[in-house]
Amino acid sequence: MWKEENNQLRRSFEFKDFVEAFTFMTAVAFAAEKMGHHPNWTNVYNKVDIQLFTHEANDSVTEKDLKLSKEIDSIYKKA
């Protein structure tokens, strides 16, 4: 589940291996580009940590972040 803390939405995702994690990240990248809103994230092998916040809104959580988080959840369910 997404957690809101320090003006960010945060969630970690874990996958079977690096390829599965990278495939997920690729799908998220295309969705984010389409929305014009991009995540901050890190990847270590099979784990992807994502932080969402809006720079234009003084680095706080906005509707853009909520929409992207729902899209990311949808992508994760298909992975």
> Residue 50's closest CA among 21, 79, 16?
21
Residue 65 catalytic?
yes
**What does the pLDDT read at residue 62?**
95
Residue 71 catalytic?
no
Residue 79: which pLDDT band, with cuts at 50, 70 and 90? confident
Q: Which of 55, 59, 63, 73 does the annotation list as catalytic? A: 55
Residue partners of 28: CB distance under 8 A and separation at least 6? 39, 41, 50, 71, 72, 75
Which superfamily does 3-78 belong to?
Transcriptional coactivator/pterin dehydratase (3.30.1360.20)
Residue 5 catalytic?
no
Residue 56 catalytic?
yes
Residue 1: which pLDDT band, with cuts at 50, 70 and 90? very high
Domain boundaries, the chain: 3-78
Q: Which of 14, 17, 38, 73 does the annotation list as catalytic? A: 38
How buried is residue 39: exposed, middle or buried, by Cβ count under 10 Å (0-12/13-18/19+)? buried
